[in-house]
């Protein structure tokens, strides 16, 4: 035996003897927390940790919030963890309803319907928030009907406007435009005063699509929107051509900020917060963003202006904000549910609303919101209904790209509508 092997053997024997004589036993590896939550909301981590500390003081249950950002990184981590069966107790797959359905059908997400019925837990929420991750009978993804997530907050998209810039252009800051013609005239007056009228992160497809969707509901109504999704009404219908033409009108009247079709929303938010743009299409989270960027900003909010020919209510994108799902296979599933139940009660919800300036999902807390957030909360009722069917991502992508093409003059509204309809027909054929 070599000298090195002899020394190694002696060390091993010595370690064994010390263990025997000292009565040592292998130490149990304890989990770092009773409930582990993965999320992407970096701006809320401090508030989440405070709530976790409060819950530990009340119950002795330790909850750990772990942040992974940006959203793409978080989403990829969730996907990898699901593949390896290593999901935490609470998470969010961050996807549309079709993607959430795939996680449910793969048994990664717990059905919370029975828990929501206990003590009428479900009744504390805005119905729109709860409905976003609920599945109705006969849904196209064959998910068992029920409630599958706990909403933390809600949101709505409206148009922010700079009151000082309105005054500078000779406009009444307390009398914002309510119809499309008034909106265009307001933009023209702002441009004439050398003020950039309108900004938004239209480089992000979902934002430009959300703006267009309001007018789809205004022109088609719920039944018409469903018929478009079913393919019974084509995207070449004059009403959809009209929607594309709205963006052409904004372009022709120079309402858009320079480079809007490639602009991410963070840059658009900075443009509005620094007074470089008079109006911004953005979500209720903008209250927190603008407050952090420019606390002195003097602004108001207004709904998206309605069309004179619109026969149906003009609704807005919104409802559910952030939600959390419970891992169906978690050994701590009940502890996870109990914490979420506590987190959505009035005390924690009011704390979150004040700390993060987001609209709480608990509708009973809305009365204590700051004035600007209260305007958003009052408009939750005017957000899109949750439908039993959604458009394919390929068609949605074609809509958004063609809206951008109209803005930069690459396509006419008619050509854009034809492009989208061609893709719709391809997807319907492929789905048969």
Clarify whether residues 164 and 240 are in a common domain: yes
Chain centroid offset of residue 258 CA: 26
- Tokens for 138, please give them: 């006969």
> Helix or strand or coil: residue 344?
coil
Number of domains in the chain: 2
pLDDT bucket at 8, cuts 50 / 70 / 90: very low
Amino acid 432: pLDDT: 61
Clarify whether residues 288 and 336 are in a common domain: no
Clarify whether residues 222 and 261 are in a common domain: yes
Whether the link from the prior residue into 70 is cis, omega within 30° of 0, is yes
Clarify whether residues 85 and 163 are in a common domain: no
Average pLDDT, the chain: 90
Summarised one tens digit per residue, pLDDT across range 409-431 is 999 999 999 999 999 999 999 87
Global pTM reads: 0.81
Alpha-carbon distance 269 to 289, whole Å? 8
Amino acid 87: pLDDT: 98
Is 10 a member of any domain?
Answer: no
Is 82 a member of any domain?
Answer: yes
Q: How many alpha carbons fall within 13 Å on the CB side of residue 82?
A: 24
Clarify whether residues 122 and 179 are in a common domain: no
> Helix or strand or coil: residue 62?
coil
Give the structural domain span for 245.
Answer: 156-318+389-431
Clarify whether residues 304 and 204 are in a common domain: yes
Amino acid 31: pLDDT: 53
Clarify whether residues 295 and 244 are in a common domain: yes
Which residues, including other chains, have CB under 8 Å from residue 86's CB and lie 6 or more apart?
none
Please give the backbone phi and psi of residue 15, each rounded to the nearest 5 degrees, phi first: -65, -40
Clarify whether residues 178 and 299 are in a common domain: yes
CATH code of the domain covering residue 286: 3.40.190.10
Which is it for the CA torsion 139, 144, 147, 148, positive or negative? negative
Residue 132 and residue 319 in contact, taking contact as beta carbons nearer than 8 Å: yes
Question: What percent of the chain lies above the pLDDT cut of 90?
Answer: 75
Residue 117 and residue 125 in contact, taking contact as beta carbons nearer than 8 Å: no
Clarify whether residues 96 and 195 are in a common domain: no
- What is the DSSP secondary structure assignment for residue 307, as one 8-state letter? P
Amino acid 262: pLDDT: 96
Amino acid 390: pLDDT: 87
Clarify whether residues 88 and 195 are in a common domain: no
Clarify whether residues 164 and 296 are in a common domain: yes
Q: Which of 53, 265, 243 is nearest to 160 (CA)?
A: 265
Is 402 a member of any domain?
Answer: yes
pLDDT bucket at 223, cuts 50 / 70 / 90: very high
Is 20 a member of any domain?
Answer: no
Is 182 a member of any domain?
Answer: yes
Is 360 a member of any domain?
Answer: no
Alpha-carbon distance 253 to 391, whole Å? 31
Is 268 a member of any domain?
Answer: yes
Clarify whether residues 119 and 211 are in a common domain: no
- Residues β-bridged to residue 179: 306
Summarised one tens digit per residue, pLDDT across range 243-292 is 999 999 999 999 999 999 999 999 999 999 999 999 999 999 899 899 99
What value, to the nearest 5°, has the Cα angle with vertex 335 and ends 333 and 341? Answer: 105
pLDDT bucket at 32, cuts 50 / 70 / 90: confident
Q: Which of 11-15, 138-142, 260-264 has the lowest mean pLDDT?
A: 11-15
- Residues β-bridged to residue 396: none
Summarised one tens digit per residue, pLDDT across range 199-212 is 999 999 999 999 99
Q: How many alpha carbons fall within 13 Å on the CB side of residue 211?
A: 24
Is 9 a member of any domain?
Answer: no
Alpha-carbon distance 341 to 322, whole Å? 15
Cα Rg, the chain, nearest whole Å: 26
Answer whether residue 334 shows pLDDT above 70.
yes
Token pair 């063609």 is at which residue? 402
């Amino acid at each position: 035996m070599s000298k090195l092997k002899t020394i190694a053997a002696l060390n091993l024997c010595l370690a064994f003897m010390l263990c025997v004589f000292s009565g040592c036993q292998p130490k149990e590896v304890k989990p770092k927390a009773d409930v582990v939550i993965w999320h992407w909301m970096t701006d809320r981590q401090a508030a989440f940790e405070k709530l976790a500390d409060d819950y530990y003081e009340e119950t002795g249950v330790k909850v750990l919030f772990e942040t992974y950002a940006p959203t793409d990184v978080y989403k990829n981590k969730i996907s990898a963890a699901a593949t390896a069966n290593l999901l935490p107790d609470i998470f969010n797959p961050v996807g549309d309803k079709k993607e959430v359905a795939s996680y449910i059908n793969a048994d990664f997400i717990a059905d919370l319907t029975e828990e929501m019925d206990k003590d009428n837990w479900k009744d504390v929420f805005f119905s729109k928030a709860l409905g976003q991750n609920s599945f109705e009978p006969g849904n196209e993804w064959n998910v068992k009907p029920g409630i599958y997530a706990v909403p933390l907050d809600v949101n709505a998209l409206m148009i922010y406007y700079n009151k000082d810039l309105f005054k500078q252009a000779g406009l009444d800051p307390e009398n914002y435009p309510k119809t499309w013609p008034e909106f265009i005239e307001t933009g023209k007056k702002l441009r004439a005063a050398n003020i950039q009228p309108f900004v938004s992160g239209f480089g992000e497809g979902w934002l430009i699509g959300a703006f267009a969707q309001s007018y789809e509901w205004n022109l088609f109504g719920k039944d018409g929107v469903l018929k478009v999704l079913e393919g019974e009404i084509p995207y070449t219908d004059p009403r959809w051509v009209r929607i594309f033409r709205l963006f052409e009108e904004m372009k022709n009247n120079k309402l858009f900020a320079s480079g809007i079709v490639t602009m991410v929303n963070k840059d658009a938010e900075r443009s509005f917060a620094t007074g470089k743009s008079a109006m911004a299409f953005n979500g209720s989270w903008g209250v927190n963003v603008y407050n952090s960027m420019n606390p002195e900003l003097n602004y108001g909010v207004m709904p998206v202006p309605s069309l004179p020919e619109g026969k149906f209510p003009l609704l807005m994108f919104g409802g559910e904000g952030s939600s959390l799902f419970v891992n169906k296979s978690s050994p701590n599933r009940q502890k996870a549910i109990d914490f979420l139940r506590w987190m959505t009660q009035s005390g924690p919800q009011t704390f979150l609303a004040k700390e993060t300036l987001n609209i709480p999902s608990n509708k009973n807390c809305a009365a204590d919101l700051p004035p600007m957030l209260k305007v958003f909360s009052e408009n939750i009722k005017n957000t899109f209904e949750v439908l039993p069917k959604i458009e394919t991502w390929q068609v949605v992508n074609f809509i958004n790209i063609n809206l951008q093409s109209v803005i930069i003059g690459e396509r006419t509204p008619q050509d854009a509508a034809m492009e989208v309809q061609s893709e719709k027909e391809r997807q319907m054929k492929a789905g048969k």
